[in-house]
Amino acid sequence: MPIEKLQRISLMDLELNFQEVEQGFTNQEAIEEANRCLYCYDAPCIKACPTGIDIPTFIKKIASDNLLGSSKTIMSSNPVGASCARVCPTEELCEGACVLNHSTTPIMIGKLQRFATDWAIQNDRTLFEPGIPNGRKVAIIGAGPAGLSAARELARYGYEVTIFEAAEKAGGLNTYGIVSFRLPQRISYWEVDQVKKLNVKFLTNAKIGKDISVQELMENFDRIVLAAGMGHVPSLDIEGESLDGVHDAIEFVKATKTGKVSNHLIGKRVVVIGAGNTAIDGANCSVRLGAENVKILYRRTAEEMTAYDFEYEFAKMDGVEFRWLTAPKRIIGDENGKVIGVECYKMKLGEPESDGRCWPIAVEGSEYVIPADAVIKAIGQTRHTDLIEQLGIDHRGGVVQVNPETLQTSNPKIVACGDIIFGKGKGDAMVVTAAQQGKMAAYALHKQFTSVDSPV
């Protein structure tokens, strides 16, 4: 489309681009799909779900029109089950394990999960009750999926739970990080409300280590759950990063989720650096903001990229181009300090590293320039090393070290869960894993006080 025409696109048109893409099932579609399930004994789909949702049971309840029961089955195993219905890589998890893969197509478990949880959202159902107060106080640092999940379980056991959240709103990356055309904020807010209804106190705009000291937490609470996730996108350590037009992918996506959609990319060329889910989300958002051309640069090949297959396909459908074996050498600016291009190296793969992926090496003399009006950095996330050190617990490069069974840190009064314990080279972190670890952290703390084993 010619640029003049593109520039007439209104902000309202752009906002429409951020509406949820995937349509939910109709009643009839849901019932038909639910009736295809074989309700397998020893169902492999349950084992493939990190939170162990009783999938055949929730599907059976849809088939018998018991949507309250179905949503309870889902949410009791996964406190962020409505978000997961939209963002889980189901083809790698439950649907990938469905026995029907061998004969026909797998049950669309994610869409059925969405159908049941959407019903609970639309009908404003409160699914759980708080436990009888036991007089013990737990502080949770971070209100993302891991913190919410831990809070929900602890509140059901009767703990007095306070969540401290640095951001203005709770929900973590479900609220601010995962693009709204896949996960609208209202879904995340409903999950937060479910936890609030269990008398969990939420203190937002409260950053531990800055607004409230670690000392204060240690003195006023019996136990601490550390669920602070990861931080912003790290520096590329190349020339030109401070130019006008260079963005942090997470902040970039956050702006689109918090109503700051603008027309500054209409007709522009965008280069995204990185090939994880964050990079894909940054690229897809650029397309939806009207960019004329979006290229993802990755220093390795499609084989090694960490983005999920469905994200990759989604980006290709949005017209995003991929430049494999390409790494930035510097970002080039004009005399006004505005981005005009990225000088790149061609790369080749060297020996495999400890995580099995080959180390990329720049090919000498291969430099060339890709013209660009904006650059989005998406090469992972930094770690909350400062906070971890203030808490005085062991970590390796900002990854908190925990006992894998109990998620206990080197301080027995602190457990940690979610992205803050997620190590490098393990693919991309997932909401569903954070949710499961939140549950495990809650059960481990409860066991410290009661010696009672809880279902994990």
Ligand X SMILES: Cc1cc2nc3c(=O)[nH]c(=O)nc-3n(C[C@H](O)[C@H](O)[C@H](O)COP(=O)(O)OP(=O)(O)OC[C@H]3O[C@@H](n4cnc5c(N)ncnc54)[C@H](O)[C@@H]3O)c2cc1C
Q: Which residues bind ligand X (CB under 6 A)?
A: 87-88, 141-147, 164-167, 172-173, 177-178, 207-209, 227-229, 250, 253, 277-278, 281, 384, 387, 418-419, 429-432, 434
56 binds, among ligand SF4, ligand X, none (CB under 5 to 8 A by kind): ligand SF4
Give the residue with the Cβ less far from ligand SF4, 43 or 228: 43
Give the residue with the Cβ less far from ligand SF4, 51 or 381: 51
Which of 6, 9, 21, 100 is the binder for ligand SF4 (CB under 6 A)? 100
Whole-Å CA distances, 409 to 149, 426, 437: 18, 20, 13
9 binds, among ligand SF4, ligand X, none (CB under 5 to 8 A by kind): none
Residue with tokens 């931080």: 231
d(CA 205, CA 198): 21
Strands 414-416 and 223-226: parallel
Size of the site for ligand SF4 (CB under 6 A): 14
* Distance of closest approach, residue 230 Cβ to ligand X, in angstroms: 6
Are 113 and 72 in contact by the 8 Å Cβ rule? The answer is: no
40 binds, among ligand SF4, ligand X, none (CB under 5 to 8 A by kind): ligand SF4
Give the residue with the Cβ less far from ligand X, 177 or 290: 177
* Distance of closest approach, residue 94 Cβ to ligand SF4, in angstroms: 7
39 binds, among ligand X, ligand SF4, none (CB under 5 to 8 A by kind): ligand SF4
Q: What is the CA radius of gyration of the chain?
A: 23
Are 33 and 43 in contact by the 8 Å Cβ rule? The answer is: no
Nearest to 177 by CA among 277, 314, 80, 290: 277
Told to check if 112 binds ligand SF4 by CB under 6 A, we report no
Give the residue with the Cβ less far from ligand SF4, 107 or 429: 107
* Distance of closest approach, residue 325 Cβ to ligand SF4, in angstroms: 39
* Distance of closest approach, residue 66 Cβ to ligand SF4, in angstroms: 17
141 binds, among ligand SF4, ligand X, none (CB under 5 to 8 A by kind): ligand X
289 binds, among ligand SF4, ligand X, none (CB under 5 to 8 A by kind): none
Are 406 and 304 in contact by the 8 Å Cβ rule? The answer is: no
Task: Give the number of other CB atoms < 10 A from CB of residue 184.
Answer: 17
Interface with ligand SF4 by CB under 6 A: which range of 93-101, 138-146, 268-276, 388-396? 93-101
Give the residue with the Cβ less far from ligand X, 172 or 245: 172
* Distance of closest approach, residue 114 Cβ to ligand X, in angstroms: 14
Burial of 13 (C-beta count, 10 Å sphere; 0-12/13-18/19+): exposed
DSSP 8-state secondary structure symbol assigned to residue 360: E
- The 10 Å CB-count burial string (b at 16+, else e) for 238-268 is eebeebebbbbbbebbbbbbeeebebebbbb
- Residues 3-62 close enough to bind ligand SF4 by CB under 6 A: 37-40, 43-45, 55-56
Helix H, strand E, coil C: the string for 262-290 is CCCCCCCEEEEECCCHHHHHHHHHHHHCC
* Distance of closest approach, residue 143 Cβ to ligand X, in angstroms: 5
Task: Give the number of other CB atoms < 10 A from CB of residue 369.
Answer: 13
Strand partners, 225: 140, 415
Binding site for ligand SF4 (CB under 6 A): 37-40, 43-45, 55-56, 98-100, 107, 109
